[in-house]
Amino acid sequence: MCGIVGYTGPREAGPILIEGLRRLEYRGYDSAGIALVSEAGDLFVEKKAGKLANLQTAIADRTPSAAIGLAHTRWATHGRPNDLNAHPHQDCTGAITVIHNGIIENFRELRDGLEARGHTLTSETDTEAIAHLVEEAYAGDLADAVRAALRQCEGAYAIAVMHRGETDRLVGARQNVPLVVGLGDGEAFLASDVAAILAHTRRVLFLEEGDVVDLRPWGATITNVEGAPRERAETLVDWSPEAAEKGGYDHFMLKEIHEQPDALRQSLAGRVSTSGRIHAPEVAALTEAFRRVTRVELVACGTASYAALVGAAAIQDWTGLPARVTVGSEFRYSPPPLDENTLVIAVTQSGETADTIAPTRWAREQGCPIVAVTNTVGSAITREANAVMFLQAGPEIAVAASKTFVTQVTTLIVLAAAIAKARGSLGLEQELELGQALRALPEAAARALELAKDVPAMAERYLGARGFMFIGRGYTLPGALEGALKLKEVSYIHAEGYAAGELKHGPISLLDLECPLVAVATRSRVYDKLISNVMEGRARDARVIAVATEGDQGIGRIADDVVWVPETHEALSPVLAVIPLQLFAYYTAVARGNDVDQPRNLAKSVTVE
């Protein structure tokens, strides 16, 4: 997730763009860059790795006068976070400048084609390909050239483009990544979100999928990529700048919960083809190791360890290899037997968790092949691994993980499929069924959010509970564990996550009217078994909240409250089931007046053992 801002108008563009970037820095800060064009058509570009302050130092006292410009704050996906890969990017002639947020999935083919046609690409990014495609298509009209370039691009993007010879014109486009237009008095703005432009205007056009905007100081013309006109209504935004950073939500946690459809889309970009084939090019070099290994050990902490449970179950199901999860703090000092035939998968959002890094390093020293699954480019875990799969979920600000849990699950599922494919144990039909379910998942997550509209009222109804017991079985257990962790983290109410069949072996004694049972009862191979366990709890007067699959006729008879989620592949069910549970935790915490984004005693990244 990167931040984009553009300006065209009579004022000095430089300071407006830098201030806009400051507001967008929460979206990523691997590097920042700016491009300015003077009225005479002179181009100035500066970009620096690291935080915005590095760019500010680099341009202090030498920012040229300009009435048009683009600026970008980067959160690395393709290419290391260095000066070279920082945006903006140019074409061969230096006339065209592009900034981009998102992922161009077919960038390898595009780059190969461009190089074969004589272009010189100087960065490792997918974005630079866009600049050269616009160069090829340019015949005097920037908007036409951008549309022609985008017709060749697949993936998710928000882009902003300018041409040195068209000194009052910006062209923007959006596909599955946010981009807004700000309309001022004789000036106009493009930005990833309204936070960047609120200081200048509150008149906003929210672009929609496939929109291309041709922007001049006096107004905007919107078309699709074919050039057919589109209309977007102007909105008057009344958010405070602080609320705008949170996308209008009260807290980052709520914003990040609602970002999950987009996070899934970005995370899956390039990993599942339209036909449903599953690809994990990042681990291709480990194909031989995947064939050779006899066991798989996953290491992770907290939320990441629950996502890892889904990964372990899928690896075991699809390969027949024993696969298990050990939390980092146990793995390091009571390690399982490790050798070159043990594949170790380290799962960590931050990539900096000491409890996960130490055992991974130990495993590397024992000769294990290692895959890291992380959200953070350049993080410590990436240096311990033979291959890294990035979540591509964008920065997560709230301490309580949400969008990184769902993208950890999907990334591990893609990895599990890659291991099984390497071993020849995942048939084509099975792969396509899973691939299609993955492709449908972002939409299903959006629907799960819609279906959860009664969760705030439900949270109010259960506010007096002494504690909660979350249960699941098989693939639904990790969702129950994560639901319980979310609730205790942000609401400070005790919640336990338990294997449903274990209830009767002890914890059932906790159940009564004041201790409700939260059953993750989505459709699965062990659904009937789980329902029997719910009945055991009900017989002890526990009120029952069920998360169930849409269309489940029977669940209403045994649950006091039901939250529906769409049907999906069983291995992906935790992604959808967790959504109402995240919201339940959030609204319970808000009702109790807690600091939701920074709960007491917690830190986003735990770098001590």
Give the integer Cα–Cα distance in Å for 293 and 320. Answer: 11
Binding window for ligand M6R (CB under 6 A); candidates: 224-232, 290-298, 397-405, 525-533: 397-405
The token pair that represents 27 in the structure block: 């979206």
Nearer to ligand M6R, 22 or 258 (CB): 258
In sequence order, the 6+-apart residues with CB closer than 8 A to the CB of 454 are 563
Tell me which of 51, 92, 488, 604 is the catalytic residue.
604
Q: Report in angstroms how near the CB of residue 362 gets to ligand M6R at its nearest.
A: 16
Nearer to ligand M6R, 535 or 603 (CB): 603
Nearer to ligand M6R, 303 or 524 (CB): 303
Cβ neighbours, 10 Å, residue 229:
8
Using CB under 6 A as the binding rule, whether residue 392 contacts ligand M6R is answered as no
Under 8 Å between Cβ of 101 and 77: no
Instruction: Output phi, psi for 292, to 5 deg.
Output: -85, -35
604 belongs to the catalytic site: yes
Distances from the Cα of 218 to the Cα of 186, 297, 322, 606, angstroms: 5, 60, 64, 50
DSSP 525: T
Q: Report in angstroms how near the CB of residue 255 gets to ligand M6R at its nearest.
A: 15
Q: Report in angstroms how near the CB of residue 376 gets to ligand M6R at its nearest.
A: 8
Q: Report in angstroms how near the CB of residue 302 gets to ligand M6R at its nearest.
A: 2
Give the integer Cα–Cα distance in Å for 216 and 170. Answer: 7
Residue from the set 348, 476, 524, 568 that interacts with ligand M6R by CB under 6 A: 348
Using CB under 6 A as the binding rule, whether residue 303 contacts ligand M6R is answered as yes
Residue from the set 401, 422, 459, 555 that interacts with ligand M6R by CB under 6 A: 401
User: At CB < 8 A and 24+ separation, what contacts does 312-316 make?
Assistant: 313/474, 313/475, 313/571, 314/412, 314/413, 314/416, 314/417, 314/571, 315/416, 315/419, 315/420
R_g of the chain computed on alpha carbons: 25
Give the integer Cα–Cα distance in Å for 534 and 544. Answer: 8
Nearer to ligand M6R, 478 or 566 (CB): 478
Comparing C-alpha atoms, which of 129, 152, 148, 130 is closest to residue 139? 148
Q: Report in angstroms how near the CB of residue 45 gets to ligand M6R at its nearest.
A: 35
Q: Report in angstroms how near the CB of residue 105 gets to ligand M6R at its nearest.
A: 26
Binding window for ligand M6R (CB under 6 A); candidates: 426-434, 465-473, 509-517, 599-607: 599-607
For residue 244, what is the enclosing H or E element? Answer: helix 241-245
Using CB under 6 A as the binding rule, whether residue 304 contacts ligand M6R is answered as yes
Q: Report in angstroms how near the CB of residue 303 gets to ligand M6R at its nearest.
A: 3
* Owner of token pair 């600026």: 71
Using CB under 6 A as the binding rule, whether residue 407 contacts ligand M6R is answered as no
Tell me which of 2, 153, 368, 515 is the catalytic residue.
2
The answer to whether the peptide bond before residue 336 is cis (omega within 30 degrees of 0) is no
Tell how strand 31-37 and strand 68-74 pair up: antiparallel
Binding window for ligand M6R (CB under 6 A); candidates: 30-38, 227-235, 297-305, 334-342: 297-305
Using CB under 6 A as the binding rule, whether residue 397 contacts ligand M6R is answered as no
Restricting to residues 453-512, which ones interact with ligand M6R according to CB under 6 A? 489
Residue from the set 301, 325, 469, 563 that interacts with ligand M6R by CB under 6 A: 301
Helices (H), 25-91: 52-59
529 belongs to the catalytic site: no
Minimal CB distance residue for ligand M6R: 302
Catalytic residues: 2, 604
Interface residues with ligand M6R (CB under 6 A) are 301-304, 348-350, 353, 356, 399-401, 489, 602, 605-606
